[in-house]
Amino acid sequence: MIDETDRAWLADAQPERRGFLALAAGVFGLAALSGTAKAQAAPVAARGIDAKQMHHEAAARLAILDGLARYCRAMDRSDRALQDTIWHTDATAQYMNNPLGPYSAPLDSGQKFVDSKAHTHHRIVNVYIEVNGDRAVSEGYGDSVIRDHPLEDGTVVESIYRGRYIDRWTLKNGRWAIQHRRYVGEIYGQIRYDWKDWPAFAKVAGKHDRSDESYQYFK
């Protein structure tokens, strides 16, 4: 979870801003309480709410959600160039009990791991975000399925990893990117299948590189 050290780091941001959700609640709450068209049409500034601030925090949230989606795509498509767009060059990372270090270390080892597998599927959902000026923290629930290549007897093993990505983001030169990541592992499991009896369509999957069909639409 986002802990007190994260919030202390967040509080040092400049300039300090109130949370976007609190601001949005103020906008819609005032209109709902009044129940009048006049209150609903009142300018945001007249209610003591900074529209630019709301825009800033909404843009930050969209950038963070987009960054997490790019992380998953980059892992599953083995796209290191895309992966590097998510991090600042001086970013750090700590995955479970592994040592704290440059973000590139766990990415390099993680990418080699998934590249050795038949297929991988990453996703990050239930993302909670707090924004304060040029800093933000997020917590996203990660769900990864890693499928091994079929064994000689036709057995296919799928490993399931579930945990949480707790990220500190900073805005530098107009770009939101990860400054530090902590990954907390929570659930692991394995499922075994008999590959031989699968129908043909079940054996067709996307490509684990830039030859994947999606690159016809996204560069």
Q: Which run of H or of E encompasses 49?
A: none
Q: What is the model's pLDDT at position 26?
A: 41
Counting the structural domains of the chain, the total is: 1
Q: Say if CB 125 and CB 11 are below 8 A apart.
A: no
Who has greater pLDDT, 165 or 80? Answer: 165
User: Residue 209, Cβ neighbours under 10 Å: how many?
Assistant: 11
How much of the chain exceeds pLDDT 90, in percent?
53
Q: Which domain holds residue 165?
A: 4-216
Q: Tell me the one-letter amino acid at 76.
A: D
Q: Say if CB 121 and CB 161 are below 8 A apart.
A: no
Summarised one tens digit per residue, pLDDT across range 63-117 is 999 999 999 999 999 998 999 999 999 999 998 888 788 888 888 888 888 889 9
3-state helix, strand and coil shares in percent for the chain, rounded to the nearest 5: 40, 35, 25
Q: Where are the beta strands (DSSP E) in the chain?
A: 87-95, 101-102, 119-132, 135-147, 155-172, 175-194
- The b-or-e profile of 56-95 (16+ CB within 10 A means b, else e) is bbeebbebbeebbebbbbbbbbbbeebbeebbbeebbbbb
Domain CATH number, residue 188: 3.10.450.50
Residue with tokens 């949230």: 61
By DSSP bridging, strand 119-132 and strand 87-95 are unpaired
Report which DSSP code applies to 212.
Answer: S
The pair phi, psi for residue 100, each rounded to 5°, is -70, 135
- C-alpha span between 219 and 141 (Å, rounded): 27
- Of 5-9, 60-64, 154-158, 193-197, least confident by mean pLDDT is 5-9
Summarised one tens digit per residue, pLDDT across range 170-218 is 999 999 999 999 999 999 999 998 988 888 877 777 888 888 999 999 8
Q: Residue 12: pLDDT band by 50, 70, 90 thresholds?
A: confident
- Give me the sign of the Cα torsion angle 56, 62, 66, 67: positive
